[in-house]
Amino acid sequence: MKKIIFLLFTICTFYNSQAQEVKTLTYFQNDTLKLDLDLYLPKKKSTEKIPLILFAFGGGFSGGERTSEKEFGKFMAQNGYAVASISYSLYMKGKDFGCKGTLTEKIKAIQIGVSDMWQATAFLIENADKYNLDTSKIFISGISAGAEIGFHASFWDYKLMNLYKSNLPENFKYKGFIGGSGAIQDINLITKEKAIPMLLAHGSNDDTVPYNAGSHRSCPTNASGWLILFGSYAVYNHMQDLHKDIELITFCGGGHEFSGYLFHEGQQYVLDFVNDVLKGKKFESHLIVPSKKGKGSGGYLFCE
């Protein structure tokens, strides 16, 4: 029996090691900065171009690592997708990203992170043939601060907000967005013309990144770091009004601890989402999940 278990373990280990490969690439470099990404690719070569998911980790623009969600990269690669997990500038390292911080510094941190993401996107488009990537099927994703990067990279004005070399193709548009506990500064940036399919997950009682419209880090209005953000539920309602494809997973009573759900326990939701988008399916759904760690309904009737 032990021999059989060992044999099965060996086979599974061999399969997992063969199902994907990882390449570490430098996507941006100047005199003071060098940024890398880890590109997870299916091991099995395909005659068809591979869809790509760009990923940005969380950490309040002051910490975190691109290797933190490597299991997500492996999972998607084993299912035929490429994943690029990027490093980006941690502008707020050693600074206050909370209520005692400075509003302009908060916005600058997001703008730098978004500009880094745009550079990573352009680098992979430029090298698409080398890695067999389908540049018409590029998704963007992230956790917390990384999801804020994803939101703003998708909807900010590229020519106005990009800090570096402008090298994205004219009228480039991501194929879809996957966000864990993220938010956007101005919900009106999401227009009928710019809207892309979204899969979002968020705790209804998140006091770090607002679930609905609210203050970042729950700061009072007189705080120097006061910043209004529109979170996943606000975006969900807005996308409904626009009649655009949106899926939201709400953890009733949950906080910011659910920011990584889609990239850990919820990986199958991501796989189903990108499959549905690429098949051209239309969808709108709101999955409500009672949280064992919940702190009440948060005033939402669907959580009671």
Average pLDDT, the chain: 92
Judged on CB neighbours under 10 Å (0-12, 13-18, 19+), 198 is buried
Question: What pLDDT is stored for residue 297 in this prediction?
Answer: 65
Which stretches of 254-302 are DSSP H helices?
A: 267-278
Are 66 and 36 in contact by the 8 Å Cβ rule? The answer is yes
Q: Is the pLDDT of residue 9 over 60?
A: no
Question: What pLDDT is stored for residue 13 in this prediction?
Answer: 44
Q: Give φ, ψ of 68 to 5 degrees.
A: -65, -25
Domains along the sequence of the chain with CATH: 22-303 (3.40.50.1820)
Instruction: Choose the weakest-confidence range: 10-19, 101-110, 277-286.
Output: 10-19
Measure the CA–CA gap between 260 and 204, rounded to whole angstroms.
15
Instruction: Please report which confidence band the pLDDT of residue 19 belongs to, taking 50, 70 and 90 as the band edges.
Output: low
Query: In which residue are the tokens 């050693």 written?
Result: 94
Instruction: Please report which confidence band the pLDDT of residue 45 belongs to, taking 50, 70 and 90 as the band edges.
Output: confident
Across the strands, what pairs with 246?
A: 198, 284
Question: What pLDDT is stored for residue 159 in this prediction?
Answer: 96
2-7 average pLDDT score: 46
Instruction: Please report which confidence band the pLDDT of residue 294 belongs to, taking 50, 70 and 90 as the band edges.
Output: low
Question: What pLDDT is stored for residue 299 in this prediction?
Answer: 80
Measure the CA–CA gap between 304 and 296, rounded to whole angstroms.
8
Amino acid at site 152:
H
145-170 average pLDDT score: 97
